[in-house]
């Protein structure tokens, strides 16, 4: 009986937490279960704003609950202790944007469509969204009517800028339609911090690469070998940290652009790299030095070597390049920068064990297909954004013009809203696919 009561209590508390959070105007990422269904571990789960992650003792899964009940759940043994709760919700609830209703017009029906009863029409709900003191990442708007409640995810809004957009909404009374911009202050701050961290780490690596370039022009000496070894160690440390930060960023971006109804396959736990050469890309070893610090577990008669190498691309450029180092006894892969620009080169370092230093080779691992797919998706995203902007400009134009008739105005709003709705779905799907592919590489 006690066990039954305990289980009932846990279910009640979790449901109460869910009901409570539905009254907040915060929503950003897909639910924990959907994240775990994509092969993310409970530790990797990201919660919506104002919710705190717990790990259930019953099955080890993650759940997101309000901060008020965390201590109670941990105290009663239903959840494992978690890291200290984030800042008070009031500090994260500062509005970062505004939403202004512009117009509501009836969507024209195709001839022959049978009307339902009670009569429910589809309306074009037109609104303007503006950012205040910071860029809004993937803003989300909740639109409510007497017939439905829907979530609409929009493209980014840049600092102190606005754009007009629209969405289709079902309602029996158009006056019942309202919309609210959900506060993404917390999630936007997290993404901005990760982006800034990546910029800092990239700058740190660039500084180390400059040092490598200058050292390579120095005459051979023991001192030069020490410098190369120290720089190699530093670049390896920065590179590992950069990979982890990029992974976190792509995870946030993926969850932001997915919806609970998104049809996306689970992300593989790891991604193997095959040694297929990339056409139009040159990989070259600049120098090889015996490492000053030798690993204790190296094979007999072998030595560890630090090497400096260069990757150059043609006019196509390269995304997420991965280099394969090989010798007569070992093989390893190194992930370089996120992007090598067209007609440019990048210097980096690697360490590998070999019996004969002359056996050390370098080539770009088989990233041709992934690189091409990423570039294709990025180009498609830019194209969809351009198409959407054209339709949004049309909306803004007809709403502010006094020289067109009401019928022409309503027709244009109907046509543009339909196009924006379709473009928005395709844009979110494409962005989710892009972040999924990049995430696989960093995983």
If you write DSSP's letter for every residue of 184-239 in order, what string do you get?
A: -HHHHHHHHHHHHHHHHHHHHHHHHHHHHHHHHTSPP-HHHHHHHHHHHHHHHHHH
Q: Are residues 136 and 9 in the same domain?
A: no
Q: Are residues 178 and 132 in the same domain?
A: yes
How many other CB atoms sit within 10 Å of the CB of residue 218? Answer: 11
Residue 435 lies in a domain: no
Q: Are residues 165 and 59 in the same domain?
A: no
Residue 399 lies in a domain: no
Q: Are residues 39 and 117 in the same domain?
A: no
Q: Are residues 364 and 227 in the same domain?
A: yes
Residue 102 lies in a domain: yes
Angstrom CA distances, 370 to 245, 272, 279, stand at: 20, 12, 14
**Domain termination residue (choose one: 91, 126, 161):** 91
- Tokens representing residue 410 in the block: 């309503």
Residue 289 lies in a domain: yes
Q: For the CA atoms of the chain, what is the radius of gyration?
A: 27
Give the whole-angstrom CA distance, residue 311 versus residue 284: 7
Residue 377 lies in a domain: no
Residue 404 lies in a domain: no
CATH number at residue 179: 2.60.40
Q: Are residues 64 and 161 in the same domain?
A: no
pLDDT in 10s for each residue of the chain, 443 residues? 444 444 444 444 444 444 333 322 333 566 777 776 666 777 777 776 667 777 776 767 777 877 677 777 776 666 665 554 343 444 445 677 889 999 999 987 665 555 555 567 899 999 999 988 888 877 888 888 888 878 888 888 888 899 999 999 988 889 989 898 876 556 667 777 888 888 888 888 888 888 877 776 666 665 777 777 788 788 888 888 888 888 888 877 777 776 655 555 554 443 322 233 444 566 778 778 787 778 888 888 888 888 888 777 776 677 777 788 889 999 888 877 667 777 777 777 788 899 998 898 888 775 556 677 888 888 899 999 999 999 999 998 988 888 888 888 999 999 999 999 999 989 988 988 888 887 776 66
**Domain termination residue (choose one: 25, 60, 91):** 91
Q: Are residues 51 and 148 in the same domain?
A: no
Domain range for 228? 188-369
Buried b (16+ CB within 10 A) or exposed e, 134-163: bbbbbbbbbbebebeeeebbbbebeeeeeb
Q: Are residues 167 and 316 in the same domain?
A: no
User: In this structure, what is the dihedral angle of CA atoms 279, 280, 286, 290, given to the nearest 10 degrees?
Assistant: -20
Q: Are residues 139 and 267 in the same domain?
A: no
In this structure, what DSSP letter does residue 44 have?
A: G
Q: Are residues 140 and 225 in the same domain?
A: no
Q: Are residues 177 and 134 in the same domain?
A: yes
Q: Are residues 74 and 109 in the same domain?
A: no
Residue 218 lies in a domain: yes
**Domain termination residue (choose one: 339, 369, 399):** 369
Residue 78 lies in a domain: yes
Distance of CA 154 to the CA centre of its chain: 15
Domain count, the chain: 3
Q: Whole-model pTM?
A: 0.57
């Amino acid at each position: 009986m006690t066990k039954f009561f305990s289980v009932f209590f846990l279910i009640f508390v979790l449901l109460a937490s869910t009901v409570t959070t539905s009254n907040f105007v915060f929503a950003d990422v897909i639910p924990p279960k959907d994240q775990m269904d994509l092969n993310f571990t409970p530790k990797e789960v990201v919660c919506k704003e104002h919710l705190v992650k717990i790990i259930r003792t019953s099955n080890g899964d993650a759940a997101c609950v309000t901060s008020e009940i965390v201590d109670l759940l941990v105290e009663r043994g239903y959840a494992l202790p978690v890291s200290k709760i984030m800042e008070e919700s009031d500090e994260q609830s500062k509005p970062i944007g505004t939403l202004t209703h512009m117009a509501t017009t009836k969507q024209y029906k195709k001839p022959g469509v049978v009307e339902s009863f009670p009569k429910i029409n589809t309306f074009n709900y037109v609104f303007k969204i503006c950012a205040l003191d910071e860029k809004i990442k993937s803003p989300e708007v909740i639109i409510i009517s007497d017939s439905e409640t829907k979530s609409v995810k929009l493209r980014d809004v840049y600092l102190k800028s606005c754009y007009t957009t629209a969405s289709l909404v079902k309602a029996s009374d158009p006056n019942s339609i309202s919309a609210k911009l959900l506060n993404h202050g917390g999630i936007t701050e997290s993404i901005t911090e990760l982006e800034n961290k990546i910029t800092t780490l990239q700058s740190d690596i660039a500084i180390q690469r400059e040092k490598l370039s200058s050292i390579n022009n120095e005459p051979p000496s023991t001192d030069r070998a020490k410098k190369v070894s120290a720089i190699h160690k530093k670049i390896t440390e920065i590179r590992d940290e950069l990979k982890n930060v990029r992974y976190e960023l792509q995870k946030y971006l993926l969850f932001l652009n997915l919806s609970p109804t998104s049809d996306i396959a689970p992300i593989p736990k790891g991604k193997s790299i095959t040694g297929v050469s990339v056409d139009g890309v040159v990989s070259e070893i600049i120098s090889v030095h015996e490492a000053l610090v030798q690993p204790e577990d190296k094979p007999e008669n072998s030595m560890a070597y630090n090497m400096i190498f260069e990757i150059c691309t043609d006019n196509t450029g390269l995304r997420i390049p991965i280099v394969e180092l090989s010798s007569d006894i070992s093989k390893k892969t190194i992930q370089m920068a996120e992007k090598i620009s067209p007609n440019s080169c990048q210097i980096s370092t690697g360490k590998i064990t070999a019996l004969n230093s002359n056996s050390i080779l370098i080539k770009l691992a088989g990233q041709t297909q992934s690189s091409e797919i990423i570039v294709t998706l990025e180009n498609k995203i830019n194209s969809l954004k351009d198409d959407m902007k054209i339709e949004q400009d049309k909306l803004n134009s007809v709403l502010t013009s006094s020289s067109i008739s009401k019928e022409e105005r309503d027709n244009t709003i109907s046509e543009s809203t339909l196009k924006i709705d379709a473009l928005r779905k395709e844009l979110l799907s494409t962005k989710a696919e892009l972040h999924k592919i990049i995430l696989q590489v960093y995983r």
